[in-house]
Structure 1
């Protein structure tokens, strides 16, 4: 009897998205058998800050929390220069209300702050005063850490894509315990000994 199909992980894509922030997470989610689907403001192509043209798999209006394992929100210049991405912050609220986790990095954390989603959760971002500039009410819950997970919400700053991925892989059970730690040490610290741990785990 085959294992039940896993729900897809949805990665938000929009113009000016920071394309370096989600690669570690999506690569290892896909390797572990999690379908990865992109969701845009519409079905029209978008272009990342690095100039990559991305054709979304579906439009945000067609995304439902019950059909997803996780919503990933990367940073983008648009988070701080317009209200164009506010619908993605509202979608994050719907996901969390439905019990489906959300992961936000870089400017997406500011979008969630403006939506009020960080007012009562431990969280992090680039720096505390970046989020304080949004006028949000969660400053006392800001944590100076590479990445933070609290009640289904992962946050990280723009310099921590590997830690961001670590929290995602741990939350979805791709890696656990010493294997998750080894994965992080390999890609964050270039620790050669960590590779041996991963090889032994893959052989089991």
Structure 2
């Protein structure tokens, strides 16, 4: 069975991961777990109080197929939990998917995993704030998510294609996924 862990930070952007979590869990039978830096509850930007299943230290890449990270205010407020970069690197060293949207796409840049794959995000300038980022030549400036060699990135405006690319990358893009997700794209046509 496919398993995804969603790493949550204080004031995470709840809408950026909600579609992925709901469709994967409710319609595709995917195990979806949440994790926070210390395993304690966090509150989203929208006021959702989430009690996580795990702490970052308890997340083992061998137990999951993908790590997905929504953006949020943690990066603006400098309250990103310790260990998130290491968690991303651990997933990539095990050839597991790492996905980041909005500020979390830039976090992937900071973890050094965007240097050799096509990627996107809110702006390349946001990625360039991180000293370990050297992937400017591979940056795709566009409104949709990008999947490349096990890494999914998206601007904060693209939670639909973020979800689609994660599901495609995990081999879960089937008739059920298309049926459940296609209505969400209609607004953007």
Q: What is the Cα-based RMSD across aligned positions, in Å?
A: 2.1
What's 1:128 paired with?
124
- Selected match of 2:147 from 146, 149, 164: 149
The Cα of 1:47 is off from its aligned counterpart by: 0.8
User: Which structure has the bigger radius of gyration?
Assistant: 1
Q: Tell me the TM-score normalised to structure 1 length.
A: 0.83
How many residues are matched? 185
- Selected match of 1:75 from 47, 51, 71: 71
The Cα of 1:85 is off from its aligned counterpart by: 3.4
Residues 28-79 of structure 1: CA distance to partner in whole angstroms, max 9, x if unpaired?
1112100111111122111111111110101111110000111111102112
Question: What is the alpha-carbon distance in structure 1 between the residues aligned to residue 180 and residue 121 of structure 2?
Answer: 22
Describe how 1:181-196 pairs up with structure 2 within 5 A. 185-190=182-187
Residues 153-179 of structure 1: CA distance to partner in whole angstroms, max 9, x if unpaired?
100010000000010111122224x87
Describe how 1:58-73 pairs up with structure 2 within 5 A. 58-73=54-69
Q: Tell me the TM-score normalised to structure 2 length.
A: 0.89
Question: What is the alpha-carbon distance in structure 1 between the residues aligned to residue 149 and residue 10 of structure 2?
Answer: 29
Question: What is the alpha-carbon distance in structure 1 between the residues aligned to residue 2 and residue 57 of structure 2?
Answer: 18
- Selected match of 1:35 from 31, 34, 37: 31
Report the more deviating stretch, 56-65 or 80-89. Answer: 80-89
Question: What is the alpha-carbon distance in structure 2 between the residues aligned to residue 70 and residue 76 of structure 1?
Answer: 19
- Selected match of 2:13 from 9, 18, 32: 18
The answer to whether the 8 Å contact 1:79/1:85 transfers is no
The answer to whether the 8 Å contact 1:43/1:56 transfers is yes
Task: Find out whether 1:140 has 2:148 as its counterpart.
Answer: no
The Cα of 1:190 is off from its aligned counterpart by: 4.6
The answer to whether the 8 Å contact 1:7/1:67 transfers is no
